[in-house]
């Protein structure tokens, strides 16, 4: 028994030690490409979003969780720029038309995305491709075509940042602003009216991981320097976080955090296990049995109907006499063998009924016992007298 306690203490101590180590273990790096302006993970855009005030000191910064059409339709007459940094840029006919109207008024739109909608690619005659790199550590050299922004030493980033390029675009309309070492365009511009549309085939230039490096922050700042400094900067969150109403469910809070998500699933499976266990150990539900009905009233009604149809008043009167005398014997403890004056006086004293009423009842009893025919009127009178006696005696 002593050895068992020692083993239990050692095992419990090791379990506590393991839990402490797991709790204090550094969290693994989340490389999930969210491109959310609230994420500080490598593939978030927290740094860029919070540096927009430094890049555009005279501009007002705001984010939008609505589609491009709804966002720009409400800002037709507000000058500024629209920035979309996401893995997908799903723009359709209504979005594109509103986008062009917004640009024609002298505004700028900046889109950096791997995948652009088919409508956008067909309209602008775009096609995105990627350089063949077998390793994440291999760096693709990129630079600007503008002599004012071009550097003697090209920019080079790891994790295949800069590998994407436009393999096809409308050369008659687009102006190339940047190229890689293979002379492939990775930054182009379209003009609509007084404004410009800037396109980049990758959002990775603006992620936290890249902006923490001097070369990455410099390249991102120069790329965004084409946008107007003043006005309103609209940051698109619709392409990364979805519509504003999409995350209205309270379950989003539980499912977005690993600890709460595990707690939710554990509670759910525990509840399921409890229900299954209770179903097995509890007995089946006993069906509700209908209570027995009191048929005395129905029986009396049937018997009364039989006597009424037979019209045997003497038989009914005899039964009422028998019931009355039984009542006297059981309640007042009187003998009814001889119906004389002494019995009447004693019954009057014990029952507190009128003496005349008792005498009339005994007259009817004497008449019934003679066996003569009883009329309906006599039977009704006899029944009335007995009911009066019962009431006066307090029955």
- pLDDT tens for 301-332 read 666 666 666 667 777 878 888 888 888 888 88
Could you give the angle at which helices 313-332 and 296-310 cross, rounded to 10 degrees? 140
pLDDT at 163 over 70: yes
Residue 129: φ, ψ to 5°: -135, 175
* pLDDT at residue 311 in the model: 66
3-state DSSP: the chain helix, strand, coil percent, rounded to 5? 50, 15, 35
- Which single residue is written with the structure tokens 């392409």? 239
C-alpha angle 85-167-146 in degrees, rounded to nearest 5: 70
Greatest CA separation for the chain = 147
Q: Which residue has the higher pLDDT, 144 or 307?
A: 144
Instruction: Enter the tokens of residue 183.
Output: 């002379």
CA distance 192 to 170: 14
Token pair 């037709």 is at which residue? Answer: 76
CB-count burial class (<10 Å; 0-12, 13-18, 19+) for 119:
middle
Averaged pLDDT score across all residues of the chain:
83
CA 187, chain centre distance (Å) = 45
CB neighbours of residue 84 within 10 Å: 24
CA 48, 51, 52, 54 torsion-angle sign: negative
pLDDT of residue 135: 66
What is the CA 103 to chain-centroid distance, rounded?
41
Under the banding of pLDDT at 50, 70 and 90, the label for residue 23 is low
Map out the domains of the chain with their CATH numbers: 46-245 (3.40.50), 298-392 (no CATH)
Q: What are the tens digits of pLDDT across the range 339-381?
A: 788 888 888 888 888 888 888 888 888 887 787 777 778 878 8
pLDDT on residue 282: 62
Percent of the chain residues past pLDDT 70, beyond the cut: 84
DSSP 115: E
Distance CA 206, CA 263 (A): 35
**pLDDT for 7 beyond 70:** no
Query: Quick check: 45 pLDDT over 90?
Result: yes
In this prediction, residues 250-256 reach a mean pLDDT of 63
CA distance 322 to 49: 108
């Amino acid at each position: 028994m002593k050895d068992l306690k020692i083993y239990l203490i050692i095992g419990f101590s090791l379990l506590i030690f393991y839990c402490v180590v797991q709790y204090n273990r550094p969290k693994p790096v989340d490389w999930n490409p969210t491109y959310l302006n609230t994420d500080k993970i490598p593939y978030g855009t927290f740094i860029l979003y919070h540096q927009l005030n430094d890049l555009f000191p005279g501009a007002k910064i705001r984010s939008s969780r609505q589609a491009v059409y709804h966002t720009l339709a409400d800002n037709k007459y507000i000058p500024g720029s629209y920035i979309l940094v996401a893995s997908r840029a799903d723009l359709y006919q209504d979005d594109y038309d509103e986008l062009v109207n917004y640009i024609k008024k002298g505004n700028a739109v900046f889109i950096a995305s791997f995948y652009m909608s088919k409508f956008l690619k067909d309209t602008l005659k775009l096609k995105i491709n990627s350089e063949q790199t077998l390793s994440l550590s291999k760096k693709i050299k990129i630079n600007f075509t503008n002599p004012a922004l071009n550097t003697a030493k090209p920019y080079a980033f790891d994790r295949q940042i800069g590998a994407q390029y436009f393999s096809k675009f409308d050369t008659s309309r687009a102006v190339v602003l940047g190229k890689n070492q293979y002379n492939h365009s990775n930054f182009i511009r379209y003009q609509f009216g007084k404004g410009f549309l800037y396109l980049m085939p990758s959002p990775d230039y603006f992620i936290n991981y890249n902006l923490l490096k001097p070369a990455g922050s410099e390249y991102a700042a120069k790329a965004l320097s084409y946008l107007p400094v003043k006005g309103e900067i609209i940051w698109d969150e619709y392409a990364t976080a979805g519509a504003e109403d999409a995350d209205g469910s309270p379950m989003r809070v539980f499912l977005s955090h690993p600890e709460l998500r595990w707690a939710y699933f554990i509670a759910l499976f525990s509840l399921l296990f409890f229900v299954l266990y209770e179903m097995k150990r509890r007995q089946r539900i006993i069906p509700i049995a209908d209570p027995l009905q009191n048929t005395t009233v129905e029986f009396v009604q049937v018997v009364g109907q039989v006597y009424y149809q037979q019209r045997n008043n003497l038989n009914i009167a005899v039964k009422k006499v028998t019931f009355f005398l039984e009542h006297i014997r059981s309640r007042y403890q009187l003998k009814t063998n001889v119906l004389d004056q002494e019995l009447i006086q004693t019954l009057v004293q014990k029952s507190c009924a009128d003496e005349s009423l008792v005498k009339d009842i005994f007259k009817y009893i004497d008449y019934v016992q003679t066996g003569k025919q009883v009329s309906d009127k006599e039977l009704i009178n006899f029944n009335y007298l007995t009911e009066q006696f019962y009431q006066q005696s307090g029955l």
